[in-house]
Amino acid sequence: DTGVSQDPRHKITKRGQNVTFRCDPISEHNRLYWYRQTLGQGPEFLTYFQNEAQLEKSRLLSDRFSAERPKGSFSTLEIQRTEQGDSAMYLCASSTWDTRTPYGYTFGSGTRLTVV
């Protein structure tokens, strides 16, 4: 499978616990994005990486959230001290460039987080 892979697909956790999600982008894509989608809404941007550098973080990304992309390959998104409001689908996407616009912007299947 040459698409964007996310793991796990589903995660149920108790409030206050820490969780970590993983995203494996399409191998030739140098840009990786994290989005959050709640029921009935469009995805909302959280953060993005160009290679290993994290270049922008949304104000939605509180101090409890941290993302990494070591060596510019896979990425992890960690949420510390989870709250019920963190329950959502966390989507990863990757893209490359073509004439200064994104090309092949592809989403993974997401990780659905439920905080109980």
Partner 1 sequence: GENVEQHPSTLSVQEGDSAVIKCTYSDSASNYFPWYKQELGKRPQLIIDIRSNVGEKKDQRIAVTLNKTAKHFSLHITETQPEDSAVYFCAASGGSNYKLTFGKGTLLTVNP
Residue 42's identity, in one-letter code, is: G
Q: Could you give phi then psi for residue 71, rounded to 5 degrees?
A: 65, 15
91 binds partner 1 (CB under 8 A): yes
Residue 51 engages partner 1 in binding (rule: CB under 8 A): no
For 63, counting Cβ atoms within 10 Å of its Cβ (0-12 exposed, 13-18 middle, 19+ buried), the class is exposed
Nearer to partner 1 among residue 108 and residue 115 (C-beta): 108
Q: Which is nearer to partner 1, 8 or 16 (CB)?
A: 8
Q: Does 102 sit near partner 1 (CB under 8 A)?
A: yes
Rounded to whole angstroms, the Cα distance separating 7 from 20 reads 9
Residues that bind partner 1 (CB under 8 A): 31, 33, 35, 40-45, 48, 55-56, 91, 93, 95, 101-102, 105-110
